[in-house]
Amino acid sequence: MLQQTTVKAVAPYYARFLAKWPTIEALAAADLEDVLRAWAGLGYYARARNLHGCAKAVVERHNAKFPEDIEALRALPGIGDYTAAAIVAIAHDHPAVPVDGNIERVIARLFAVEQQLPGAKPAIKRLASSLLPAKRSGDFAQAMMDLGATICSPKRPACALCPWNRACAANARGDQETFPRKAPKREGKLRRGAAFVALRNDASVLLRRRPEKGLLGGMSEVPGSEWTHDFDFDRAQRFAPSIARARWRRVPGVVRHVFTHFPLELAVFVARIPRAAKAPKGARWVRLADAPREALPNVMRKVLAHALD
């Protein structure tokens, strides 16, 4: 959960997950749809699928106990170098240095690493490993994380309070806020599409499930078009779901959302549907009152809000 997301945002989700699935076995036995529902709003939904897949793998391959070997951990869904190192260091006190964004910043400043990220990652990892003490790997890892989070912050670092201020090359130069060096961020090209909100007269909305693989895999959505760079809003209605006697009207404005790699604009269309209308293949009617509990990503929650406003 903490990959790409702050502790503040994660904390309530983490508490709810533990209350709902208190053991690895419970999470492994859960339905993926339920896991995605509980994750909705946290973003980066591949993490939820990996979390569920990892629980199943730990139960099936390791008798419901996380392995202590770093290579065995890396073989589990959703666990890369950082998470594997964090587990073996913090949970098992084995010699390993997990390098997250906070630790990257500390090391880049301490050694004044001029190479830009992400290319500098291997060098930063080697430098971090060179500081690993002979004992208490877990304490060292957590201390480094906390140092980056609370003192060696991205802006206005509290260098006077830092235990390494005399050893820090960037602090000696006075340009600590310029580290770590980062390559200019490339903004993704705008994509557009259409979303169709079918509202049945019994206060239900039409939803379907996205394909398991790909962006927002397995999440719920209202029917819509693909998201492309050259989408023509004037021809959008040809992507509307096949529902008898549906008369679509476009809601003024667009829904805007920014993903990691590209911004998105969606034209939203609404139709009032008779109570007797059946859902097209692959879709289902969901009571509007129950929609907040569906596995709807934030972009779809924006679409519904725009349609119902």
Q: Same topology for domains 98-185 and 191-308, yes or no?
A: no
Q: What does the pLDDT read at residue 212?
A: 83
| 245, two tokens | 């006697």
Going from N- to C-terminal start, the domains of the chain cover 98-185, 191-308
228 burial via Cβ count (<10 Å: 0-12, 13-18, 19+): exposed
Q: Distances from the Cα of 204 to the Cαs of 32, 78, 309, in angstroms?
A: 23, 35, 16
The pLDDT score that the predictor gives to residue 119 is: 94
Q: 30: which 2 tokens?
A: 């859960």
What's the rounded Cα separation, in Å, for the pair 15 and 25? 17
DSSP characters for 255-293? EEEE-SS-EEEEEEEEEEE-TTPPPPTTEEEEEGGGGGG
- The pLDDT assigned to 167 comes to 96
- Low-confidence stretches of the chain (pLDDT < 50) are none
Q: Which helix (H) or strand (E) holds 136?
A: none
- Which two tokens mark 172? 């000696």
224 CB burial (10 A radius; 0-12, 13-18, 19+): buried
Report how far residue 147's alpha carbon sits from residue 108's, in angstroms, rounded to the nearest whole number. 13
Residue 186 has what pLDDT? 77
Among the residues of the chain, which ranges form H helices?
A: 7-20, 24-29, 32-39, 46-62, 70-74, 81-86, 101-110, 121-130, 137-150, 169-173, 298-308
Q: Are 241 and 273 in contact (CB under 8 A)?
A: no
Contact status, residue 47 vs residue 36, Cβ threshold 8 Å: no
Say which CATH topology domain 98-185 has. Answer: Endonuclease Iii, domain 2 (1.10.1670)
- Mean predicted lDDT score pLDDT of the chain: 93
Tokens standing for residue 98: 């997990």
In this prediction, residue 292 carries a pLDDT of 86
pLDDT at 283: 95
pLDDT at 46: 86
Architecture of domain 191-308: Alpha-Beta Complex (3.90)
Computed on alpha carbons and rounded to an integer, the radius of gyration of the chain in Å comes to 24
Do residues 128 and 121 lie in contact, with contact meaning Cβ atoms separated by under 8 Å? no
Burial 236-263 (b: 16+ CB within 10 A, else e): bbebbbebeebebeebeebbebebeeee
Burial class for 12, CB neighbours closer than 10 Å (0-12, 13-18, 19+): exposed
Residue 183 is classified by DSSP as: P
pLDDT, position 4: 79
